């Protein structure tokens, strides 16, 4: 017979971190791209040099396709967590699909509003396609037939730690470094701020999930570290720019340094799970918006 939390004495664990993330998503995840004013962005776009436009389009193209990819690829993780009976985790994961789809909507709307209707595939490098056409979908699809801790860890590492926690976080950093001091494209930066807030919850969940797996089996820490380090050369390749200093004056070396800082931050947070109990992991302090 199927188990239901609604039939149990405990019911939903409202004090667990996954449920608290669900509560945050209900409160902060309901922004609408249509409410963003792109009128200044239309004007600002024509004041940028051709090289600056290309730099922004590259970032937008990377995010636009990535958001579509993660929208397509999240369902197997929801399925796997549901099969495990982790209902509070499943509740929060349902918000991922809505939010990733909305992020895709945002980037399409920005491009439409500033008048860009051409194909942007030329901005997708071989390393980028390796992640979003091969590694991500293959890793996630495996969950449909295999819900072992290793397979779930692979999904959380690739999706949450690598794509969202390293690639996307480095992308946000580049958007802000490019535009904040110029005070241009305010609609784009407003949307990026909302997306970053959504993704911080996603990363928080991925961190929690991996910490749970480490708590259940200490050997998972080394497994997860190996997976992360295998992916980092691909991140380096995706982060490459044609020049050492981009058209906005941002140094490639600084972008690399930020990316490595993100990696070390993820590793340190996961390391804290070693020796903790499952109860302690479920009661972790919520540090995302």
Q: What is the pLDDT of residues 207-261, one digit of tens each?
A: 999 999 999 999 999 999 999 999 999 999 998 877 899 999 999 999 999 999 9
Q: Which CATH architecture has domain 18-23+37-274?
A: Orthogonal Bundle (1.10)
Question: For residue 2, is pLDDT > 90?
Answer: no
CA distance 94 to 25: 10
Closest-CA residue to 251 (of 238, 241, 261): 241
Question: For residue 289, is pLDDT > 60?
Answer: no
CA distance 158 to 156: 6
Of 80-89, 90-99, 278-287, the poorest mean pLDDT is in: 278-287
| DSSP label of 272 | T
How high is the pLDDT of residue 247? Answer: 95
Question: For residue 143, is pLDDT > 70?
Answer: yes
pLDDT range class, residue 83, cuts 50, 70, 90: very high
How high is the pLDDT of residue 9? Answer: 77
The first and second tokens of residue 57, run together, are 């389009």
CA distance 22 to 113: 32
pLDDT, tens only, 6-27: 778 788 989 899 999 999 999 9
Of 150-159, 253-262, 280-289, the poorest mean pLDDT is in: 280-289
The first and second tokens of residue 109, run together, are 């709307």
The first and second tokens of residue 156, run together, are 């959380």
């Amino acid at each position: 017979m199927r188990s239901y939390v609604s039939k149990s004495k405990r019911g939903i664990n409202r004090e667990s971190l996954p449920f608290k993330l669900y509560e945050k998503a209900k409160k902060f995840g309901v922004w609408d791209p249509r409410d963003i004013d792109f009128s200044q962005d239309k004007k600002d776009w024509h004041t940028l040099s051709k090289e600056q436009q290309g730099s922004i389009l590259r970032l937008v193209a990377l995010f636009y396709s990535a958001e579509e990819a993660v929208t397509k690829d999240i369902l197997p993780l929801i399925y796997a967590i549901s099969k495990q009976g982790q209902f509070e985790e499943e509740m929060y994961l349902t918000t991922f699909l809505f939010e990733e789809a909305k992020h895709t909507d945002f980037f399409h709307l920005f491009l439409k509003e500033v008048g860009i209707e051409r194909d942007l595939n030329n901005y997708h490098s071989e390393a980028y396609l390796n992640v979003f056409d091969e590694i991500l979908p293959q890793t996630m699809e495996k969950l449909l037939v295999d819900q072992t801790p290793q397979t779930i860890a692979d999904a959380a590492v690739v999706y949450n730690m690598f794509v969202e926690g390293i690639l996307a976080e480095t992308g946000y950093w580049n958007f802000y470094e490019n535009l904040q001091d110029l005070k241009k494209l305010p609609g784009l930066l407003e949307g990026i701020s909302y997306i970053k807030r959504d993704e911080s919850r996603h990363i928080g969940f991925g961190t929690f999930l991996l910490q749970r797996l480490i708590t259940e089996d200490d050997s998972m820490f080394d497994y997860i570290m190996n997976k992360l380090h295998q992916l980092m050369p691909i991140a380096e390749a995706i982060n490459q720019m044609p020049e050492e200093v981009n058209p906005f004056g941002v140094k490639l070396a600084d972008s690399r340094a930020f990316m490595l800082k993100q990696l070390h931050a993820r590793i340190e947070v996961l390391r804290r799970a070693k020796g903790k109990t499952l109860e302690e992991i479920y009661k972790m302090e919520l540090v995302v918006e």
